Amino acid sequence: MLRLGSHTLSNPWILAPMAGVSEMPFRLLALEMGAAAAPTELVSAKGLVYGQERTARYLRHDALEQPFWVQIFGGEPESMARGAQRAVELGADILDVNMGCPVRKVTKNGAGSALLTDPERAGAIVAAMVRATGLPVTVKIRSGWDDGSINPIEMAQAVAEAGAVAIAMHARTRAQGYSGKADWSLISRLVEASPIAVIGNGDASTPELARQMLAETGCAAVMIGRGALGNPWIFSQLAQGQAPPTSHERWQMVRRHLLAHMAFVGDPLRGIRRFRQHLVWYAHALSGAAAFRRQVMKVDDLHELLALCEGFFCAAEAAQDRQAMALQTTQALG
């Protein structure tokens, strides 16, 4: 089992920190389903230091989130250390440094994946945060800035010397974004050379692929990102070997997530509009999903949205169940 400071994770399956997704309601669902941990989405160190209300909202969490793992981004050791101290005041148990975000508004300030081009500064940031807080610090990187600068081993050595306890790697470069295929062989090489625990990430989108990554690379744990979008059950399938959800279970999860999200956001209209993307993910691959997406984008009333969702998810899943049964019958009859 992966140990991070005084915290030992119960299994190797971790929800990846995702901007706009890894808010408290979704983290709690993932943990309930069996995820061993669920870090926050990336939080600005400067936003924490300056006390921005929006930034502090990212750190709202439940007592069930143990350990509470907070991901911070920034490019300067001093501000990252001060932001880390503020995160501790707001309840952080583990700190993670985002060194992988490819978005220009993050990288142009020397943060996110820009740190891949400067391992020395990456190490200085980790060292400053460790000194300021005494908490376990992890980092999340990509395999390099581009194909000509693959350097995860150099990054691992730099942050390990600075005091990091684990390194998570998305096996794509910054230049790739989310295109192409994650190169798991780079995770394997990092596992062999890294002085600290390695967490794999990238294309572990199904239970089978997540298990395959763990077995093939030897990583200590697997971070699951896009595979969990609209599918928190991936963790119950991995951690407890449960079957995919029934139509009733899917609808109940959607309803719980929607209502929890609305309570978390507070503003009804903003809450509904921000949840629409989750509904698109939940509806993926279900019968009638395209028409459902078009309808969802027009609904701003919670009661109307609940009724629309209940009708769609129950009907779509029931149709799929009937199709699956018909196929099984056909196969049984030869």
CB-count burial class (<10 Å; 0-12, 13-18, 19+) for 330: exposed
Tell me the pairing of strands 3-4 and 7-8: antiparallel
Q: Catalytic pick from 101, 219, 309, 314?
A: 101
Q: How far apart are CA 88 and CA 280, in angstroms?
A: 35
Distance between CA 198 and CA 91 in Å, rounded?
25
Residue 123 and residue 152 in contact, taking contact as beta carbons nearer than 8 Å: no
CB 13 within 8 A of CB 49: no
Residue 101 annotated in active site: yes
SS (H, E, C) 244-280: CCCHHHHHHHHHHHHHHHHHHHCCHHHHHHHHHHHHH
Is 298 strand, coil or helix? coil
**Which among 46, 59, 130, 135 is positioned nearest to 94, based on CA atoms?**
135
- Residue 147 CA to residue 19 CA, distance in Å, equals 25
Which residues are tagged catalytic? 101
